[in-house]
């Protein structure tokens, strides 16, 4: 293995497969984005991008793993808003999102949808709100753990309804969706990157979308705001990270491959079908991700501390 200092080592990078760590279960929304992205990036890198699902603790185990990984340009992490909410949600976090990583860039923004099991006796947002208020903690809400966006959305939902559901955590929203389809849980808030196929096949009840405006892929779905939850908004963003100390040459090459993927029709069409929007070029850079992350740590930290949800 050549030292990074030599020109030939830098030219040879990457000379073996690269690992892209996904903090949630295979088949779920984060995994769907990661696999399509990795396949597209591999075309530029000339090496395969291996998806490694490291689940647990709402994504924080994966982040911790990558923060401590050898910074050699062969381990990266894809994560969403959870990177920014973790410091407020976990009092004893073993890594710092703002100081323990090198930043590559952002990928795509994804709306969320509020779903019920197919036979839930509630229709539309008005029906959902009535059902939620009447049944309170008898309602089972699935999520992907403290730090998942499904948890973030569920937390804001309960807060704005003034109800407390019974929360059931899974290793990702792929198993949470399986539980919803099987009728073992009642409600799930999840990203369109996983939910659109289930919504289109009418295997779940759709109550609304979590963006302030309606979305192109589900034009008939009302926003939660239209449904009566004023100002309700959760938008999911995705960043790619490396352990701090990763050689700048490796970051630059990985970023070039990322930008190429964000223009690759195979990737962009798949994202469009699933309701995801590729980020503008200003967010595709390391600086674009770092600045955004800081603003999100500040934004969600404030909201979460107000609600007062956290783990020791
Ligand atoms: C979540 O945060 O809810 C995740 O996106 C879940 C997942 O990817 O499984």
| pLDDT for position 3 | 63
Closest atom of ligand 1 relative to the 23 alpha carbon: 8
Cα gap 53→272, rounded to integer Å: 24
Whose Cα sits closest to atom 9 in ligand 1? 172
Q: Which of 22, 54, 86, 144 to mutate to test the pocket of ligand 1 (most atoms within 8 A of CB)?
A: 144
Closest atom of ligand 1 relative to the 173 alpha carbon: 9
Give the distance (Å) from ligand 1 centre to CA of residue 50.
19
What percentage of the chain exceeds 70 in pLDDT?
Answer: 98
Residue 27 is encoded by which pair of tokens?
Answer: 């088949």
Question: Dmax of the chain from CA atoms?
Answer: 67
Confidence of residue 8 (pLDDT cuts 50, 70, 90): confident
Closest atom of ligand 1 relative to the 30 alpha carbon: 8
What percentage of the chain exceeds 90 in pLDDT?
Answer: 93
Confidence of residue 89 (pLDDT cuts 50, 70, 90): very high
**Residue 146: strand pairing partners:** 148
Closest atom of ligand 1 relative to the 151 alpha carbon: 3
Whose Cα sits closest to atom 8 in ligand 1? 30
Closest atom of ligand 1 relative to the 59 alpha carbon: 2
Phi, psi dihedral angles at 150 (to 5 degrees)? -65, -35
Give the distance (Å) from ligand 1 centre to CA of residue 23.
8
Cα gap 116→97, rounded to integer Å: 33
pLDDT above 80 (res 16): yes
| pLDDT for position 156 | 95
Closest atom of ligand 1 relative to the 172 alpha carbon: 9
Cβ pair 2, 12 in contact under 8 A: yes
Give the distance (Å) from ligand 1 centre to CA of residue 80.
9
Give the distance (Å) from ligand 1 centre to CA of residue 29.
6
Model confidence over 248-299: pLDDT tens digits? 999 999 999 999 999 999 999 999 999 999 999 999 999 999 999 999 999 9
| pLDDT for position 308 | 82
Query: Angle of helix 149-161 relative to helix 82-89, nearest 10 degrees?
Result: 60
Model confidence over 203-249: pLDDT tens digits? 999 999 999 999 999 999 999 999 999 999 999 999 999 999 999 99
Stretch (H or E) spanning 33: helix 29-45
The sign of the torsion formed by the CA atoms of 124, 125, 127, 128 equals positive
Give the distance (Å) from ligand 1 centre to CA of residue 230.
25
Question: Which residue is it, tokens 């609600």?
Answer: 307
Give the distance (Å) from ligand 1 centre to CA of residue 258.
21
| pLDDT for position 125 | 96
Closest atom of ligand 1 relative to the 144 alpha carbon: 3
Q: For the stretch 23-47, what's the b/e string if a residue is b when 16 or more beta carbons lie within 10 angstroms of its beta carbon? A: bbbbbbbbbbbbbbbbbbbbebbeb
Give the distance (Å) from ligand 1 centre to CA of residue 147.
9
Cα gap 305→195, rounded to integer Å: 29
Q: Which of 37, 115, 145, 149 to mutate to test the pocket of ligand 1 (most atoms within 8 A of CB)?
A: 149
| pLDDT for position 5 | 72
Q: For residue 159, how far is the Cα from the chain centroid?
A: 21
Comparing CA positions, the residue from 247, 243, 245, 244 lying closest to residue 5 is 247
Model confidence over 156-179: pLDDT tens digits? 999 999 999 999 999 999 999 999
Give the distance (Å) from ligand 1 centre to CA of residue 173.
5
Cα gap 3→54, rounded to integer Å: 29
Residue 145 is encoded by which pair of tokens?
Answer: 């753990």
Give the distance (Å) from ligand 1 centre to CA of residue 154.
12
Q: Is the peptide bond before 201 cis (omega within 30 degrees of 0)?
A: no
């Amino acid at each position: 293995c050549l030292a990074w200092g030599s020109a030939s080592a830098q030219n040879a990078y990457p000379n073996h497969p690269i690992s892209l760590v996904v903090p949630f279960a295979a088949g779920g929304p984060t995994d769907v984005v990661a696999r399509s992205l990795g396949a597209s990036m591999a075309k530029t890198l000339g090496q395969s991008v291996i998806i490694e699902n490291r689940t647990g603790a709402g994504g924080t185990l994966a982040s911790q793993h990558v923060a401590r990984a050898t910074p050699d340009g062969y381990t990266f992490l894809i994560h969403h808003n959870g990177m920014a909410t973790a410091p407020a949600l976990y009092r004893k976090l073993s890594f710092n999102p703002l100081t323990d990583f090198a930043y590559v860039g952002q990928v795509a923004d994804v709306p969320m949808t509020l779903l019920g099991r197919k036979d839930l006796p509630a229709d539309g947002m008005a029906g959902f709100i009535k059902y939620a208020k009447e049944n309170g903690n008898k309602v089972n809400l699935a999520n992907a753990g403290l730090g998942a966006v499904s948890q973030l959305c569920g937390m804001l939902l309960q807060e704005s309804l003034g109800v407390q559901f019974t929360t059931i955590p899974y290793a990702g929203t792929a198993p949470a969706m399986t539980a919803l389809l099987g009728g073992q849980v009642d409600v799930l808030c999840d990203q369109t990157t996983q939910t659109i196929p289930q919504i289109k096949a009418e295997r779940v009840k759709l109550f609304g979308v979590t963006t302030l405006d309606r979305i192109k892929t589900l034009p008939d779905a009302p926003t939660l705001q239209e449904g009566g939850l004023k100002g309700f908004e959760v938008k999911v963003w995705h960043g790619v990270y490396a352990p701090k100390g990763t050689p700048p040459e490796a970051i630059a090459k990985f970023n070039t491959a990322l930008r190429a993927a964000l223009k690759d029709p195979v990737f962009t069409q798949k994202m469009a079908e699933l309701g995801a929007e590729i980020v503008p070029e200003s967010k595709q850079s390391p600086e674009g991700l770092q600045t955004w992350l800081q603003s999100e740590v500040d934004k969600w930290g404030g909201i979460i501390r107000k609600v007062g949800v956290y783990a020791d």
